[in-house]
A and B are shown apart, each in its own frame.
Chain A
Amino acid sequence: MLELNRSIHGASATGGSTPAADRLAQLPAAIRAKINTHPCFSEDAHHHYARMHVAVAPACNIQCHYCNRKYDCSNESRPGVVSELLTPDQAVKKVLAVAAAIPQMTVLGIAGPGDPLANPERTLETFRQLAEKAPDIRLCVSTNGLALPELVDELCQYNIEHVTITINCVDPDIGAKIYPWIFWNHRRITGRKAAEILIQRQQEGLEKLVARGVLVKVNSVLIPGVNDAHLPEVSRVIKAKGAFLHNVMPLIAEPEHGTFYGLMGQRSPTTAELDALQTACAGDMAMMRHCRQCRADAVGMLGEDRNQEFTLDKIEQLEIDYAAAMQRRAQVQAEIEAKRAAARQPSPSVLVALPLIERPRAQPQPQKLPTTRPLLVAVASHSGTHIDQHFGHAREFLIYEATAEAVRRVAVRSVDLYCTGAAECDDTDNRLAQTLRALDGCEAVLCARIGYEPWGKLEAAGITPNGEHALEPIEMAIAAVYAEWQAAGRLTPQTAAPARLSA
């Protein structure tokens, strides 16, 4: 079910609608400096800078119901999946090779495929070498938090500026429905007791990191019926303890993933549910809405993966002159910063206010009836600012909600987060089916160009393809489309496409 009309839960209209970029602008200068070039933390930075993950940490000390420790598919793109496990020495070599080849790569993260801090020797050895050999790369790590408290001091020693803790709950009764077991003090512990220990360790780790001045982002997986009603409380608690960013991510659960949730019929949230929850959690906390849920060995800009260019056999023979690379990196990054500074010059402002819109049927009609209804539009964009991508090349779509008053980005949807089995991986029809799934609820898709065949399939699915605004700035093009549809009478409240309001 997708609801185009939304109500705002617990957040003021202004508080709920401030974009992440603006919210980050309210952070102290010292923090902003740390995230300015971090693609995972700054919505703006991710258009300019790349990141990489090295898969050095295979072991885990807990089990989550959304994770399957067996899965490995090179065509699949989701957290916890890798193709090639690296030793710390191999990882360092790979990082230097990528940093030399992709000068805008500013961030190295260790994110698994297990829990990085459940593999302290491998993770810390990688950080130790990189802090010495590549001081211009920012280092970060993500963890479930169980082993975090006693490793905070050592992490600080290697200049780790950012830590992400996955916190799905602060209530052990809810935790017992997410974590079947943890390994703690030489025993496997199950049930509520396990969740209680994990939560206590996560909170202790968070407090210690904040006390040491490390930036902490909290990831939460939104699991409908399990922690959805509880996540605003999580947001409140972690914010009070000093986390600077909360990233609520949708559960990924399909039977073919072999996870508990996937096999037991736990559904993933709809994009409307995710968006509503992110808004509900926002309050005055910075929320992150551009997460791409990437693999634990991803390389490149967010949403892209160039890992295959840097496999072990390709980098083993490389001799890297990192001093020279560092000079070139500094030069390229200075050019990027100059461009960003120029782009920050005042431009025609984009309205972001989200009017409070009542649900047409479920609630009494409001006094002032909206004369037009909102429109959900998907955009194929390489730059993130202009409509400059061919429909068939888009691996993700930017989703905008347009109203008569505003155009607002509400989500980013990946086409290929899911692997549906090796035989279908490169099947064109299957690709298109996946794309249609990613466009669910959208009534129009704006792109630079589009082929004849997908055009027909999109129309058949009730989505209007539009290539008329190629190379135009996204918000202005959407506003133009909205005005055009409005003039054509396609946006009166009664014209809402029934298939998508009830689907």
Chain B
Amino acid sequence: MAFQIIAGCVNCWACAPLCPSAAIVAATPHFRIDAKLCTECDGVYADPQCASICPIEGVILDSAGVPLNPPGSLTGIPPERLAAASAEIRAR
């Protein structure tokens, strides 16, 4: 039972001080979660702390590999709008 930080993390440091298990470490190329220490905040907080402050969608996964903050959930930007805009910008 542990979360995982994946590529896309912008190293903003928001999560690390909040972790009740001190499981989050600054690393290169991005922060990572020590799976041996992570408790998913079970029994300490109602919501997992790292995933509740993380500003980047899709970069923290649960133990099943599912994003805790799926695309569109934090910014409110519909994923299809983001994809269309990226394609437009690339095509310029």
Q: Using a CB–CB distance below 8 Å, which chain A residues touch chain B?
A: 58-61, 63, 65, 69-70, 85, 114, 118-119, 121-122, 180-181, 183, 186-188, 255-256, 258-260, 263-264, 421
Contacts and interface: CB of A to CB of B under 8 A. Distances in A.
Contacts of B52: 183, 186-188
Interface string B44-82: 011101001101100000000000000000111100011
A63 B56 contact: no
B92 interface: yes
B69 to A, nearest CB: 9
A292 B39 CA distance: 46
Contact of A187 (B13, B47, B56, B74): B47
A106 to B, nearest CB: 29
A264 B55 contact: no
A58 B47 contact: no
A59 B14 contact: yes
A119 B18 CA distance: 11
A119 B15 CA distance: 11
B35 interface: no
A421 B47 contact: no
Contact of A58 (B11, B46, B75, B89): B11
B28 to A, nearest CB: 13
A121 to B, nearest CB: 8
B1 interface: no
Contacts of A256: 89
B10 interface: yes
A63 B73 CA distance: 12
B43 to A, nearest CB: 13
A40 to B, nearest CB: 25
Contacts of B85: 255, 258, 263
The 9 A-B residue pairs with the shortest CB-CB distance, nearest first, are A59-B14, A69-B55, A183-B53, A188-B52, A58-B12, A59-B13, A255-B85, A180-B76, A263-B85
Interface of B: 10-14, 17-18, 45-47, 49, 52-53, 55-56, 74-77, 81-82, 85, 88-89, 92
Given A69-B10, A255-B89, A63 B74 contact: yes
A39 B14 CA distance: 31
A103 to B, nearest CB: 33
Contact of B76 (A186, A187, A260): A260
22 contacts: A58-B14, A59-B13, A60-B12, A60-B14, A69-B10, A69-B55, A114-B12, A114-B14, A118-B14, A121-B17, A183-B14, A186-B45, A186-B49, A187-B46, A187-B52, A188-B47, A188-B53, A255-B85, A255-B88, A255-B89, A260-B77, A421-B89
Contact of A421 (B17, B55, B92): B92
Nearest to B47: A187
Given A59-B13, A60-B55, A264 B88 contact: no
A264 B12 contact: no
Contact of B13 (A58, A70, A421): A58
Contact of B75 (A60, A85, A114, A260): A260
Contacts of A118: 14
Nearest to B16: A59
Contact of A61 (B45, B53, B74, B75): B53
A58 B92 CA distance: 31
B13 A119 contact: yes
Determine which residue in A70, A121, A259, A263 has the highest number of CB atoms from chain B within 10 A of its CB, and name it. Answer: A263
Nearest to B55: A69
A179 B24 CA distance: 27
A259 B74 CA distance: 11
Given A186-B47, A256-B89, A70 B10 contact: yes
A118 B17 CA distance: 11
A114 B14 CA distance: 9
Contacts of A114: 12, 14
B88 A69 contact: no
Contact of A69 (B12, B18, B76, B81): B12
A263 B81 contact: yes
Contact of B56 (A65, A70, A259): A70
Contacts of A180: 74-76
Given A63-B75, A180-B75, A186-B52, A264 B81 contact: yes
Given A85-B11, A188-B52, A263-B82, 17 more contacts: A58-B13, A59-B13, A60-B55, A63-B74, A63-B75, A114-B12, A114-B14, A180-B74, A180-B75, A180-B76, A181-B74, A183-B52, A186-B18, A255-B88, A258-B85, A263-B81, A264-B81
A255 B13 CA distance: 26
Nearest to B92: A421
A61 B14 contact: yes
B19 to A, nearest CB: 12
B31 to A, nearest CB: 11
A65 B77 CA distance: 10
Nearest to B52: A188
B57 to A, nearest CB: 10
A55 B12 CA distance: 11
A59 B50 CA distance: 12
A180 B55 CA distance: 11
B41 to A, nearest CB: 9
Contacts of A60: 12, 14, 55
Nearest to B76: A180
